[in-house]
Structure 1
Amino acid sequence: MTIEVDSSRHEDGTGKSGFGARFALILIALLWASQLNGLMGLMSGNAQSQIAIHYHTTQIAWFSQIGLLIGVATTPFTAKLAGMYGKKRVLATITALGLVGDFVAAFSTNYETLLVGRAISGFYGPSVALVYALARDVFPRRLVGPANGLLGGGMGLLALGGPFLSGWILDDFGYRGILWFMTIATGISLLALLTLVPESPVREERTPLDWTGGILLGCGVASVIYGVGEGSGWGWTSGRTLAFIGCGLLAVLAFLVVESRVSHPIFPISLLGRRRVWSTFMVTGLITGATFGQGMILNLLVLMPNIPGLSDGLGWSATKNAWVGAPASILILATSVATGFLARRVDTRILLATGGALMVLSTLLMSQFHYGVGQLMAIGVATALGMGLIMALVPIMIIESVSPKEQAMGNGAQNIMTGVTQGVLTQVAFALVAHDSNVMKGTAFYVDDSYSMSYLTFAGILAVATVLVALIPKTKHLDEVEVGQAATATAAV
């Protein structure tokens, strides 16, 4: 079979302004796939305490961490294979692996088997990068911006419904219900991908796989994340912490040397030699990592108990927190969709800087006003506007920065960058709030000054990231880049 692509690729030929039934179904399937990882993370985080008590383990951190490490380590190979053999094909394959892992975890009878299942499901980690890359190819030009905006804004749907859904399942069915829901949700995603989403015709040349480079990059980055994640427990100057971080950095440096010498690198270093690419990766990775990192502070603030002289948390239930955050979640979704349309007419650098500035403002306000429902809901407006802009713009700016053949690789690289910054900055956030904590019966409780200082620190990080937007050079506008290939492709057998 050969694929011939209409070189004009301006519209899908329908002349319609909406998505239409066909593209709407494709969008729903991709939206489900793009948000599955986030939903699993939210649910597993809520289930951790029950699992730790049931299995009497002090190593509960591995329940969420092992999947993250596998996902980061496999991202280079997943992105390369997707470029060579098809984005849909590889996305369906890693979804199937995730389903196998979910089944193992759901049927597990001991903690070790549960971790094996979680590790296998970690192969699904790079899925978001493939979803955004596939969206570029299956939608016509006029729908690429709105589609990516909605995919990014799906986080708003997740933030809105996820806490309520998770609380209901956990309260009525326990942690085992969470594990089975993960299995069912992954199965639905796999079925939707196979039946609704077309394959992209965009292919890289099939070349020998660079195993050495992929292992060095994946394991190096995973080692850094693991070392930082254990740093607060081991001690930041302990031999183990320094060994994991140091060896990980050495592996990344070795990766750069290997990639400059092999004939068919798993990641073209020349891609990072382009200012538009490296600056976009750096800025979006930093601003996204800081946005999610400061979100961890909020979770601790609202869910930790309020005990005078011991703990200055708000003591809310997860359900109350879900209700208070619901309006902001809706606003995130609406902002993301609107951003998808705005990106067709407005310089995305301006939109990203606006989103960053809003996050700086909201984080500064949170440092001083975080004592009640009214304050958090009011500040949540600025937070939602900023997050909606940022989440929608990240995939769009990658599209503007790379060619269609580089899309999967570009999304994979940005996925790794965001994973590293988010992992590191989340640990920074935890270290900040724990600095002056009170420990009673083995449990740490946090004080108001630590919450305030944490927010001020993250406001500074977000401010730096926003200023760095100026490093990103102007490039093709979203309406000028090459997109919508599968939408207008014709196949000849």
Structure 2
Amino acid sequence: MVSALQFTLVIPLLPEFPQLLDISASDSSWLVTATLLTAAVGTPIIARMADMYGKRRMLLVSLGAMILGSVICALEVSFVTMIVGRALQGFGAALIAVGISILRDKLPPERIGTAVALMSATMGIGSALGLPLAGVLSNWLGWHSIFWFGAVAGAVLVVALLVVVEESPVRTPGRFDVTGALVLSAALICLLLPISKGSAWGWGEPVVVGLLVSSLLLLVIWVPLELRVNQPMVDLRTSAQRPVLMTNLASIFAGMAMFVNMLVTVQVLQQPAATGAGFGLGVTAAGLAMVPSGLAMVAMSPVSGWSLARWGGRAVLLVGAGLMSLTYVGRVFWADSVAAIVVGSTLVGIGTALAFAAMPTLIMSSVPITETASANGLNSLVRSIGTSLASTLVAAIMATYTIEVGGVLFATEEAFRIVLVLGAVAAAVCVALAALIPRDRRTHHERELARAQGGEKQEAVVRGQIRLARADDSARGTILVSVLDVHGEQLDWSRADNAGRYSVVLPGPGTYVVIANAIGWAPEATVFDFAGGEVEQDLTLARELTVSGVVTRDGAPAAGALVALSEALGTQVGSTHCDDAGRYAFQLPPTGRYVFTAYDPHTGSAHARKVTLTIESEVVDIDIPVGATLQPH
């Protein structure tokens, strides 16, 4: 709730800030933009650091930054310091991603779904309360009080965290990827700044185009950097897997659909009735009209948790996004009263509660347990991109379809209809993407384990190193470690770093099977009797997968013969020479069709074979018939 309030408390005061701070109207918008930018940039960074250095520790860092920013704004030294303060307040957005990962570490599996749903719902409550609360505080205690409120609330939370929340033992060892964080931050600023300011600056202006191009170039640099670095800021290989990729893509459109609801509802309630498309409510009354939506989200928390346990995150996301889409369609035709607006907003809120509870659950069931905070941080980032896109598109639509009343331009009824259609389309795209998400993993088995342990978690992190019998740079980033119980259920998995180091989470003392696998190497498995405590478990991949054979010349070994390997479509893979016994070997390439060509320089003869290779080692013998030479014309 406190995190959400950082964004909404200042909105009612935006029209007044030009007079209060002696600035222009365009300058006052930076008080919102600064917070949005630091929220988007800071969340994935703080979430990654939470996985590495401790989740409670980074919650305290986020709250500390938010408190400092609130105090700076409350003191109002200058407009520049206000911008700095609002930027620091944006770090409070990381509380959500890191907090959800703490819920996963601390709570029994059957309670995680409800807890995540409740946290998502409190975001809705915070957003809804921001508008009326800002009006009450500024009227009673002056506008500085909204920032003192944030500082006091943050200080209370710091004390509560220190007293109530223990540090999670689930961590990822290693060194933080500073370069990756800096490049990603620059790319996000170059992307989100023109999205936020494009309408005001002009989409064709050189600064907007330049920022967008710079964002693209920085991302082109960042992606290969993250694939090469030992412990990346964002594990792109994991993020590219279908469950995570589809969930993140769906989150963009879910964020759009959620934000459209707040933007269109508040504006249509506040717009003068003389425009034919408004109800003339004040800021406080319009804000209170959003409260039923937030309360409905809280009331849905137990239902969301039960649904997640019963049907899984994919089904809940489908239902939530589907409800949002259908409600938006209904609001296009039924929006002739305040009651209709409130009912429509509340139904969208219920759909949002379901969707936003499902997305972190889907993410956490698909990534290594030691990376849940950073994975949720990335998911929060893509959702914020969705909300930024929604804000930009809604602003463009409202500015295109206008009507003048009393010398002031307002949005027309057609503009509101188009925005509602935008919300319906965004939610429908979310449904389509959610349909591509595979079923949840781990969730059912984690609940069964918790019951066997009396509902209390006894998780421990086990670390180790995977060694290769031969130094092989091509295996970097491809070594996977998986942990099974003796019944064959997967408990956790990890991608080893470039040095082969890995970490996995075990549910408690017991017997487990640890499997290591890498492209080009035969997998190895070992039985691990875990008694608890800090333990290292190393494995060695000893058998390299190869394609090998013997080249003969009319049945005799063709010593020194050249063997060339190429794909069936002609791309060269490599070449080698046979030893004295005619033997050759290549590291096993990816599955597919290949051509093996042998050339004997002693006789000038050659021969080729077409072979389909699988994931197992293969023997391909080649016999070169004497006289198989290219005849000159």
Instruction: Indicate conservation of the 8 Å contact 2:258/2:348, yes or no.
Output: no
Output the CA distance in 2 between the equivalents of 1:51 and 1:293. 25
Alignment CA distance shift 1:246-1:440 (3 Å): farther
Distance 1:486 1:477, change over 3 A: closer
After superposition, the Cα gap between the structure-2 partners of 1:375 and 1:441, relative to the gap in structure 1 and judged at 3 Å, is closer
Partner of 2:205: 238
Task: Identify the match of residue 406 of structure 1 among 340, 356, 371.
Answer: 371
Partners of 1:328 and 1:80 lie apart in 2 by 32
2:257 aligned to which of 290, 302, 312: 290
The number of aligned residues is 456
Higher helix share: 1
Q: 2:54 maps to what in 1?
A: 86
1:143-189 Cα shifts (integer Å, max 9, x gaps):
21221121112234335644443321122122111111111111111
- Tell me, yes or no, if structure 1 residue 155 matches structure 2 residue 123: yes
- Is 1:269 matched up with 2:236? yes
Once the two structures are TM-superposed, the CA of residue 294 in structure 1 deviates from its matched residue by 3.8
Separation in 1, partners of 2:8, 2:414: 27
Structure 2 distance, partners of 1:394, 1:442, is: 45
More strand per residue: 2
Check whether the contact 2:183–2:218 (CA below 8 A) recurs between aligned residues.
Answer: yes
Report the CA distance shift for 1:325/1:97 in structure 2 as closer, same or farther (over 3 A): closer
Q: Distance in 2 between matches of 1:154 and 1:272?
A: 27
Q: Deviations over 1:234-277 (max 9, x none)?
A: 22222111111221122122110211122222111111231111
Pick the aligned partner of 1:260 from 219, 227, 247: 227
Q: Are 1:37 and 2:27 an aligned pair?
A: no
| Bigger Rg, which one | 2
Which deviates further from its counterpart, 83-92 or 362-371?
Answer: 362-371
Deviations 1:426-467 (A, max 9, x none): 111111121122467985311111111121122122212212
| 1:101–1:436 distance in 2 versus 1, CA, 3 Å | same
Out of 328, 339, 346, the residue aligned to residue 363 of structure 1 is 328
Describe the shift of the 1:62–1:159 C-alpha distance in structure 2 as closer, same or farther (beyond 3 A). Answer: closer
* TM-score normalised by the chain length of structure 2: 0.68
Among 14, 22, 30, the residue aligned to 1:48:
14
Q: 5+ residue gaps in structure 2? A: 461-531, 535-633
Measured after TM superposition, the shift of residue 323 of structure 1 is 4.1
Which residue among 65, 76, 83 is the counterpart of 2:33?
65
1:94-493 aligned at under 5 Å gives the runs: 94-158=62-126, 161-207=129-175, 209-308=176-275, 312-438=277-403, 443-476=408-441, 478-481=443-446, 487-488=457-458
Sequence identity of aligned pairs in percent? 24
Aligned partners of 2:407, 2:378: CA distance in 1, in Å?
A: 39
Deviation string 1:7-32 (CA, Å, 9 cap, x unpaired) is xxxxxxxxxxxxxxxxxxxxxxxxxx
User: Retained in 1: the 8 A contact 2:69–2:84?
Assistant: yes
- Seen in structure 2, the aligned counterparts of structure 1 residues 439 and 270 have a Cα distance that, compared at 3 Å, is same
Q: Distance in 1 between matches of 2:67 and 2:360?
A: 26
Return 347-356 or 473-482, whichever deviates more.
473-482
TM-score normalised over the length of structure 1: 0.86
Change (3 A) 1:327 1:293: closer
Paired with 1:422 and 1:467, the residues of 2 have a C-alpha distance of: 19
| Secondary structure at 1:266 match in 2 | coil
- In structure 1, stretches of 5+ residues that fail to align are 1-34
Q: What is the match of residue 3 of structure 1?
A: none
Whether the 8 Å CA contact 2:120–2:356 is kept in 1: the answer is yes
- CA–CA distance in structure 1, aligned partners of residues 169 and 367 of structure 2: 17
Hey, what does 1:19 align to over in structure 2?
none
Secondary structure class of the residue paired with 2:113: helix
1:94, CA displacement in angstroms? 1.9
Superimposed CA distance per residue, residues 269-312 of structure 1 (whole angstroms, 9 cap, x where no aligned partner): 1112311111111112321232213421222111122234xx73
If asked which structure has higher relative contact order (CA below 8 Å, sep 6+), I would say 1
Deviation at 1:233, TM superposition (A): 1.2
Contact 1:75 1:218 in 2 (8 A): no
Change (3 A) 1:194 1:140: same
Q: Summarize deviations over 1:53-83 as a string: whole Å, max 9, x none.
A: 2112221111011122122223333122111
Measure, in 1, the Cα distance between the counterparts of 2:31 and 2:292. Answer: 31
Residue type of the partner of 2:3?
N
**Contact 1:287–1:466 (Cα < 8 Å) also in 2:** no
- Is the contact made by 2:260 and 2:420 (CA closer than 8 Å) also made in structure 1? no
- Please tell me the residue identity of whatever aligns with 2:458: T
